[in-house]
Amino acid sequence: MWRSLLPLGLNPDTGGYRRFAWNAADLACREWFRSEAAARGLDVETDRNGNLWAWWGPRGPGAIVTGSHLDSVPDGGAFDGPLGVVSSFAAIDVLRARGFTPGKPFAVACFSDEEGARFGIACAGSRLLTGALDPDRARGLRDLDGVTMAEAMARADQDPETLGRDDERLAGIAAYVELHVEQGRALAFTESPVAVASAIWPHSRWRFDFTGEANHAGTTLLEDRRDPMLTYATTVLAARKKAKLGGAVATFGRLVVEPNGTNAIPSRVRAWLDVRAPGDEILAAVTEQIVQAARERAGRDGTAVTADRESHTPIVEFDHGLRNLLAGRLRQNFGAVPVLPTGAGHDAGILAAAVPTAMLYVRNPSGVSHAPGEHAEVRDCLAGVTALADVLQELAQ
């Protein structure tokens, strides 16, 4: 499975993946999902929001669901998302080899547009499913080429008119367990190849528009400039400092410069800020400080800045009963496994608002994620499959 998935959407120049919602690579990944499901005799359906479901046996209420996503960030790694989907199919193989047949409806889910790389909203598929993303807003979101999500879906034969909260489907899920590569290296310092998730840090994405005046890079005196790049650069430094002081993390990772000429002072710099913190109050306070620093600097530079929050995900505490059940079952094969919080968002975090959810992490020796260096050792991945099979057997018996 891993070998057949690896070439899809690979950018040979960077070694990273460009599997963005509804692009050719994403459609190839969806096809891969269908063929792996078919190879196991699983029945695949696409839900109203573009998420894929592969059913082992009859559909129905009280379903045990596992899965993850196959899309990537720009030049992302091979493991974030795909490890969970591959492990889900592999766990079914393990359970069948054990002679196990689920006593409850059982599905592998592949959530659409988890990274939000194309339209800017993370976990769009699960947010639409749970009603956390307004369907009209989703349909109107545009990628950098001006293509709306509705247009991108229609081109992929996915009806954009059916988007929206799906109460019937949610009511049919008894538990969702997502296996994911660790996005840090807490496990690298332990004997354990796997961990159980405790919570997901709250997370906000903001768009900053710094506007100034385009002018000649050679003839415009420094004191005559209204340079939004200067305001932006100072804001990057402020974000780092405020995050460090507040115990948060803050990142400007995406930038659009106009006119983007080597010999021109920019007229506008548009930048996206990602802020995460252990709690909602810290997140709000740190973000406010960064916005304030940008405004103060704009005043001194003769530029203007607006800051708009594009998305917000509150803190997620995973279901305690399910978490304890996982940790208890894993003790049989793995001993006491670590229970870890994370700064990374996941579909399991979105679904947690509607159904009991839990997560398993697989050790990542370098901690690198969202980059080509993302990695997990084969033996740890196989331990992850065993762990997932163990907990699914416990839940679906």
- Closest CA relative to residue 316, chosen from 205, 203, 199, 204: 199
Cα of first residue to Cα of last residue in the chain, in angstroms, is 26
CB of 98 to Zn ion, least distance (A): 28
Nearer to Zn ion, 78 or 290 (CB): 78
CB of 295 to Zn ion, least distance (A): 34
Nearer to Zn ion, 305 or 344 (CB): 344
Number of shown-chain residues binding Zn ion (CB under 5 A): 2
Residues 6+ apart with CB under 8 A from 360: 177, 178, 179, 180, 194, 195, 196, 197, 326, 384, 387, 388, 391
Q: How far is CA 302 from the centre of its chain?
A: 37
Query: CA-CA distance, 179 to 94, in Å (whole number)?
Result: 15
**Could you tell me how many residues make up the chain?**
397
CB of 72 to Zn ion, least distance (A): 9
**Residue-wise DSSP of 224-287:** G---HHHHHHHHHHHHHHHHHHHT-EEEEEEEEEES--TTEE-SEEEEEEEEE-SSHHHHHHHH
CB of 180 to Zn ion, least distance (A): 6
Nearer to Zn ion, 114 or 166 (CB): 114
CB of 71 to Zn ion, least distance (A): 9
CB of 351 to Zn ion, least distance (A): 13
Show the beta-strand stretches assigned E in 75-211.
106-111, 173-181, 194-200, 203-211
By CB under 5 A, is residue 349 in contact with Zn ion? no
Nearer to Zn ion, 160 or 384 (CB): 384
By CB under 5 A, is residue 374 in contact with Zn ion? no
Nearer to Zn ion, 80 or 374 (CB): 80
Nearer to Zn ion, 232 or 361 (CB): 361
Binding mask 56-85 for Zn ion (x = CB under 5 A): ------------------------xx----
Residues engaged in binding Zn ion (CB under 5 A): 80-81
